Amino acid sequence: MSRPGRLARLIDFLRRADWLNSNRIFAWSAVLLIEEALIVGFLALWQHGVITADASGPSSDFVSFYAAGKLALAGTPALAYDQAAHFLAEQQAATGGGYQYFFYPPIFLMLCAVLARLPYLVAYAAFQVVTLSLFVATMGAVLRVSGWKWIVPLLAFPPVFWTLGLGQNAFLTASLFGGFTLLVDRRPLSAGALLGLLCYKPHFGLLAPVALLAGRRWRAFAAAALMVAGLVGLSAWLFGWDTWAAYLAAFRSSNAVYGSGRIDYAGVVTLFGAARLLGVGTTQAYAVQAVAAVLMAGLIALIWRRDMSLPVRAASLLAGTLLAVPLALLYDKLLVLLAIAWLVREARRTGFQSWEKLVLLLTWPVSLLTWPVGSNWHVPLGPLVSFAVLLMCLRRVWRAQAQTHPTQGRPTADQARAIPCQPRWKGVLRLMPPERHRSA
């Protein structure tokens, strides 16, 4: 066979990806899952001085949650936003690690205070087990699958291990966002309530109000607003307005952390992080992110206004959110996994499009390589994953619009002008029954 023929067969092989069946997905995911577990185990042994002589001490984001909760229980919740007091509380909870910042609103302090009533390791394990269970249940509801094999690719998705290793709240965030998308059409009040609960990460709700307003989901929008107002009021009653003042002051100074590079830009999976990783200045990077946010808002408004299928709307909102917000880290890519689940659900109903299987498959290895490639070669892979998933959504939007408004068989503008005009009565004759036509 000639070289062009072999190339054409290879392209068709990749484009169709018929070889990508459930058995291969399960086997490859199992291998990746084992590799990730070994890496995490090695890092844990190294960090605690089992492999090396000196232990570096535990360094997890969860310690910042736990320390903030301890300060709240001590009757000094505002000190959670004082870095010196917060760092001291972190050292008392788990000595040896570096300082972990806390920029969450007082709404999140309510959950932190509940966790801080438990011993540190128990609270860590309980938080991760409960929120991971919620996330698995949410993914199962989206995919509408049975059995257990589908859980292996889910657990093998690299951000799962980032969340577990850092003790982050990404499982909770994805569960709330996923529950909102699941219920937005059937139970708008419940969907709005779940969206409102997400206000502990307020920037992740950037595009959701746009989608609700454009899609005329008034009840869900109202429920979300009421939930946010209620949580703000409850947190103010529990902790006082001075805690909110301390939070706002800390929030205003957060740019000194995120804009200065104290947080590794290789782990920031937004366009702002990509621009900073490439050496773009802070102001210019924020400008790039602002333009992207406006474009994503317009795109999501258009998709939800046209009332596309729920899987397409949900996946577009999830992927678009990660491209619109300025701050999202490696573990936040769980929203991409949720978007992929919605696309798979749609594909099971309508069939996979060309290249779709391959693109979605590549999100696993690319997500695994995002931090090492960004850290060593300053190549930002994080936004590429979100953009690739969003592109798959847009292809489905385009296809749905083409099916709804077919153009085949219609004359072009030039052809229409070339058709001679006919008296109206001839058109009437064509609509009449044959016998009336003849008598006329």
Joined tokens for residue 138: 């949410």
Instruction: Give the whole-angstrom CA distance, residue 231 versus residue 222.
Output: 14
How far are the Cα atoms of 116, 129, 155, 251, 331 from residue 158, in angstroms, in the given order? Answer: 28, 17, 8, 29, 8
Please answer whether residues 381 and 362 qualify as being in contact, where contact means their C-beta atoms are separated by less than 8 angstroms.
no
Residue 173's closest CA among 352, 9, 318?
318
Q: What is the DSSP secondary structure assignment for residue 222, as one 8-state letter?
A: H
Q: What DSSP designation does 99 have?
A: P
Neighbour count for residue 440 (Cβ, 10 Å): 9
Count of C-beta atoms within a 10 Å radius of residue 45: 12
pLDDT of residue 438: 37
- Cβ within 8 Å of residue 315, ≥6 positions away: 339, 340, 342, 343, 346, 389, 392, 393
- Identify which of 289, 296, 351 has the alpha carbon closest to the alpha carbon of residue 326: 289
143 is written with which tokens? 């995919």
Smallest Cα–Cα separation from 78: which of 88, 66, 86?
A: 86
Other Cβ atoms within 10 Å of 13 Cβ, number: 12
Task: Output the pLDDT for position 409.
Answer: 45
- Cα–Cα distances (Å) from 338 to 170, 172, 294, 436, in that order, read 12, 12, 23, 62
Mean pLDDT split into 10-residue runs, the chain, 440 residues: 81 92 94 89 64 61 95 97 95 81 97 97 94 98 93 96 93 98 98 98 96 97 98 98 96 86 91 96 95 98 94 98 97 98 96 95 95 95 97 94 64 44 39 37
What pLDDT is attached to residue 432?
A: 38
- Cα distance from N-terminal residue to C-terminal residue, the chain: 67
Number of Cβ within a 10 Å radius of residue 423: 8
Q: What whole-number distance in Å separates Cα of residue 103 and Cα of residue 81? A: 7
**Greatest distance between any 2 Cα atoms in the chain:** 107
- Output the six-digit token pair for 306: 């046209």
Instruction: Determine the pLDDT at residue 175.
Output: 98
Per-residue model confidence (pLDDT) at position 39: 83
Query: How many whole angstroms separate alpha carbon 132 and alpha carbon 155?
Result: 10
**329 - beta bridge partners?**
268
Task: Quote the radius of gyration of the chain (alpha carbons, Å).
Answer: 26
Residue 197: the pLDDT is 98
Rounded distance between C-alpha atoms, residue 2 and residue 7, angstroms:
9
The whole-number pLDDT of residue 435 equals 39
Nearest to 118 by CA among 158, 183, 69: 69
For 433, phi then psi, to 5°, come to -60, 155
Token pair for 299? 């795109």
| Cβ count within 10 A of residue 240 | 14
Query: Given this model, what pLDDT does residue 54 score?
Result: 56
How far, in Å, CA of 365 to CA of 387, rounded? 16
Question: DSSP letter string over 160-219?
Answer: HHHHHHHT-SHHHHHHHHHHHHHHTTT-HHHHHHHHHHGGGSGGGGSSHHHHHHHTT-HH
d(CA 45, CA 43) in angstroms, rounded, equals: 5
The string of pLDDT tens digits covering residues 40-81 is: 777 766 655 556 655 555 568 999 999 999 999 999 999 999
Q: Say what the pTM is.
A: 0.89
User: Could you write out the DSSP letters of every residue in 358-392?
Assistant: HHHHHHHHHHHHHHHHHHHH----HHHHHHHHHHH
Q: What is the pLDDT, as a whole number, of residue 99?
A: 86
What pLDDT was estimated at residue 123? 95
For 376, phi then psi, to 5°, come to -95, -35
